Structure 1
């Protein structure tokens, strides 16, 4: 009976893994099939000169280059705003917080993790209206506000991965370091964080993908069709996710719909590149900062 149950569970796990793998493969192949036919310089720059567009000398109104640049700026700025508080809160939860503080913070983090992105976008939009009516009449939707809302969205991911990575470090390491009379800050900086760095970087990689693909937030608080390259933190911007949504919902010709599929392929490649970059950083970190690596 137990042997039959084990075989059944094994078969079920194989079937589930195959279904997930085939579904992901089918999605990737479909996006590749629909988008690769329009993947050329005209998709990125339209009728503008590529070099002039890259240097900012001419505006691009019928290509995805401004949306690509806006997405990159959005990812960078969101992570700059989220990494420090996310990792800091994860460290506090795993290393310093009392039982009551852990319960309170974990409850708040779970609530934040459960907030849909459309609600976060609406919160950002209402924040603009409040600032405009009470403090800054010139306040408007912008790149900084969109990045701030997206930073709030990815905070739970960064906090959870940091906390779990630190808690997964062997307790013997902590006990031995304490027995040597080392201070908690020294133990954290020189022993625990180096051992937990791969898990923390994994959280950053997950946050990268979430920021790059989110549409609801940027729709409410910053992204504008044909806004061009962002002219500052308080300026309008374009994003690939908004470009895909806008063109797929409001296309007038079949070419515009095909361009949306091409932009989907570009966004997929961008997320894949960011994932690859994160993996490379993980391996470099593992090679160069292993505290147990013997020195010659």
Structure 2
């Protein structure tokens, strides 16, 4: 009976894994099939020369280049804001906080992770209105407000992955440097953090994916249809997720819908590029940590 239960569990696990793999594969194939036809330089740059668009010598009106730049700036800004706070908080909870503080903060961050993104977007919009009314009339929903709102949204992922990565290290790794006379800070910097980089970067990858795909937050905090390449963090901007949402809900011709599929494929490739960049940075940091002279 016990062996039959184990075989049933294994069979069920394999079935679920195959179904999930097939679902992901089907989505990717469908997206490639629909978006490949529209995926060409004109989709990104329109009638503008790619070189002039990249050098910002000529504005792109009928292409996705401003949305690509806006998405990259949004993700970079959000992750740059969230990373120092998330890493520091995760390290504190794993290495320095006592039991009661850790439990309290874990509850708070679990609640924070469950907040719907539209609520975070509404908070960001309210913040922009408050700053506009009480501090400066030039402050409005913009790239900076969106970056702050998204950073707040992804903080729980970075904090929890950092905390779990550090807490999951074996006692042998934790105690070796201390036994040789290293201080707690030296043990953390030279041993624990390099050993937990893989798990910490997993949180960064989750944050990148969430920032790149979220639409509800940016709809309320600064994204518009035709803003062009943002000149500063205080300007409105374009983003690929909002373009996909806008074109799929308000397209008037089949060609516009195909452009939406092309934009979805472009967003997927952009996320893969950011994930690959995060992986390269992780490998580089691991090499520097273990092979420093």
Which of the five TM-score ranges fits, normalised by the shorter chain? over 0.9
Matches within 5 A, 1:74-85: 74-85=74-85
Matches within 5 A, 1:1-296: 1-290=1-290
Residue deviations 1:67-112, cap 9 Å, x none? 0000001111111100000000000000011112112211111111
Distance 2:194 2:50 in 1: 43
Residue deviations 1:209-259, cap 9 Å, x none? 111111111111011101000110101110000110111111122111111
Range with bigger deviation, 171-180 or 110-119: 171-180
Q: CA deviation at 1:122?
A: 0.6
Distance 2:104 2:18 in 1: 40
Partner SS, residue 289 of structure 1 = helix
Q: CA deviation at 1:7?
A: 1.2
Q: Answer whether contact 1:35 1:261 (CA < 8 A) is retained.
A: yes
Partner SS, residue 272 of structure 1 = helix
Distance 2:181 2:286 in 1: 27
Distance 1:121 1:145 in 2: 9
Partner SS, residue 125 of structure 2 = helix
Range with bigger deviation, 272-281 or 54-63: 272-281
Query: What is the TM-score with the length of structure 2 in the denominator?
Result: 0.96
Q: CA deviation at 1:276?
A: 2.3
Q: Answer whether contact 1:202 1:278 (CA < 8 A) is retained.
A: no
* Runs (5+) with no aligned partner, structure 2: none
Distance 1:182 1:269 in 2: 44
Q: CA deviation at 1:288?
A: 4.1
Residue deviations 1:156-213, cap 9 Å, x none? 0100110011111121232333333322111111111111111111111111111111
Distance 2:174 2:2 in 1: 40
* Runs (5+) with no aligned partner, structure 1: none
Q: Answer whether contact 1:195 1:290 (CA < 8 A) is retained.
A: no
Residue deviations 1:255-295, cap 9 Å, x none? 1111111000000111122222223333334444337x9x9
Q: Answer whether contact 2:190 2:289 (CA < 8 A) is retained.
A: no
Query: What is the TM-score with the length of structure 1 in the denominator?
Result: 0.95
Distance 2:280 2:186 in 1: 27
